[in-house]
Amino acid sequence: MAVRLVLRVALISFVLLGARSVVAAPITPQMTGNVAKDFELPGTQIFQGPLDTTPNHIGQAPWMNSAGLVSGWNFDYIATYYDKSSDTMYVGVKNWGIAGDVDGKGLIGQPDPQLTSSGGSNPANFGGDKSMVVAFAPLSGTYSISSPPAPVLVAGVPYIKGQADPAGLDGFTVAKWAGTGGAPYDLAGSFGTAIKGTGSKLYFDPSKSTPDFEFKIAGFSNLTKIDPSKGFVLYAQDGSIGSIVTGTDYLSMPSTQAQQVTPEPTTWLLWTGLAGALAWNHRRSRRSRP
């Protein structure tokens, strides 16, 4: 009887301890190239502009609109998930269509003849001057979009390929912000010296099977001195001068954990390097929201 009791207690202890170890294990996104699926986790932050519920919020060539094509430069939303136990920030950029697909035909590297005849390009693997960048800034006090805090860290693919980390997939790079004062609209050209050896990485080259831009920043709080639990400001920019037939996208807003936010009207600037003479390139107005 005593032996049975000891065995029963040991078995119960094993089950309880085993269950505890499972519960304590960190839950992190399982990256598949599908942000909607991968970031269905408690604690995920969603960054989405008021007009991003439709893919028609950046300018496109009339032939694209007529064909029902949507450029892969259109942001849908951006999801972030911070794993404190490993100090890792996971980021998923969800665009309408395949991220970086200029003409929206799903054939990156094979531009539509109407794109090339306009002088544009759609290089594969985020080549040329293609760029997709997310930046982070600390949040303190009241957030004002007309005077946003300067980023401290940028991550993504810069349009100046000399700033890219050659070891990163598609030139993916994590770097200190190297921009100068004012609103940080030129994220894509503001990469400082690449920060290497942290384990940060881009998971996939966006394609039909892995359409979204998903990456992680290892050692996030150490690199940024940001405590995500106290809120932060996220910026994002994508596009390329060589796109020609479509505008580019820009996003700037505080995390939903921020306690003090002052929304105010603002003009969300498109990348100034685009061919502004084209009728379909335009600027759009947005209202920031917490």
217-260, pLDDT tens digit by residue?
999 999 999 999 989 999 999 999 889 898 889 888 898 654 33
pLDDT band at 26 (very low <50, low <70, confident <90, very high): low
Looking at residue 258, its pLDDT comes to: 41
Kindly tell me if the per-residue pLDDT of 10 is higher than 80. Answer: no
Average pLDDT over residues 167-171: 96
State how far the Cα of 135 lies from the Cα of 157, in Å rounded to an integer.
11
Looking at residue 15, its pLDDT comes to: 31
For every residue of 57-106, DSSP letters joined together read SS-B-HHHHHTT---TT-EEEEEEEEETTTTEEEEEEEESSSTT-TTSSS
- Residue 13 CA: distances (Å) to CA of 18, 122, 231: 8, 60, 40
Nearest residue to 231 via CA among 40, 35, 27, 45: 45
Kindly tell me if the per-residue pLDDT of 8 is higher than 80. Answer: no
Nearest residue to 134 via CA among 222, 234, 5: 234
Residues above pLDDT 90, as percent of the chain: 57
Average pLDDT over residues 39-51: 90
Q: Where are the domains of the chain?
A: 2-287
Structure tokens of 233?
Answer: 């400001």
